[in-house]
Amino acid sequence: MSTIFDIIGSTLIAGVFLLLMINLSTYSTQSKAASDSELILINNAKTLADILNSDLRKVGFKYTGTSILTAEPKKFSFFSDIDNNGSTDAVTYTLSDSLKADGTPNPRDKILYRIVNGDTSKGPSLGLVDLKFSYLNQLGQTTNTISEITYIKTELWVETTETVDGTYPFTYWEMTINPRNL
């Protein structure tokens, strides 16, 4: 009789330990996934910021006329010799609608279009859900007058492309750039 109790008892204890290990393994997998997503989120935000940072600093480079074409909250166009090859390029930044980023589970992410001389080939989503340009004059005041623009403020809202525990963690990136050629 005591042998039966021993077997039942040890089975229960083994089951408890087994469940514990399964839970721990699941937690470990989820934690790593969340951590991976967060890392990807940070890297995506940095990549987007690097692209914008590099290009916006070149607004008006080797262009003598009015170098800004369009200065709207969701669209910014300018002239610059963006690749320093001696010829002027027209560069436009704008945001797609969310339907364009159909390759990711996130229903809200969009694609940042970087259109150089009319080339509209699109890149990956990188989780960008919103983008806002605002424009400041020499005194740091908001302006809509193109000739007065001295600083370009860019705000990025980036989410993970994959869900993490049913949500999409997000990050916000803001930078204000003073293109020296303006």
Residues lying near other proteins in the complex (CB under 8 A) are found at: 10, 14, 17, 20-21, 24-25, 27-28, 31-32, 35-36, 38-39, 42-43, 46, 49-50, 57-58, 61-62, 84, 180-181
* CB of residue 5 to other proteins, shortest distance in Å: 14
Helix, strand, coil % in the chain, rounded to nearest 5: 35, 30, 40
Between residues 12 and 14, which has the closer beta carbon with respect to other proteins? 14
How near is the Cβ of 55 to other proteins at its closest, in Å? 11
Q: Which is nearer to other proteins, 87 or 141 (CB)?
A: 87
Return all residues near 83 (Cβ < 8 A) that are at least 6 apart: 89
- CB closer to other proteins, 40 vs 69: 40
CA–CA dist 161, 104 (Å, integer): 6
CB 79 within 8 A of CB 88: yes
Least spacing, CB of residue 180 vs other proteins, in Å:
4
Q: How far apart are CA 113 and CA 95, in angstroms?
A: 6
Q: Please say which residue, 84 or 117, places its beta carbon nearer to other proteins.
A: 84
Find the shortest distance in angstroms from Cβ 63 to other proteins: 9
| Residue 83 Cβ vs other proteins, minimum distance, rounded to whole Å | 11
Element (H, E) at 28: helix 2-56
**Cβ contacts of 171 within 8 Å, gap of 6 or more:** 41, 42, 45, 157, 158
Of 94 and 156, CB closest to other proteins:
156
Question: Residue 157, Cβ neighbours under 10 Å: how many?
Answer: 19
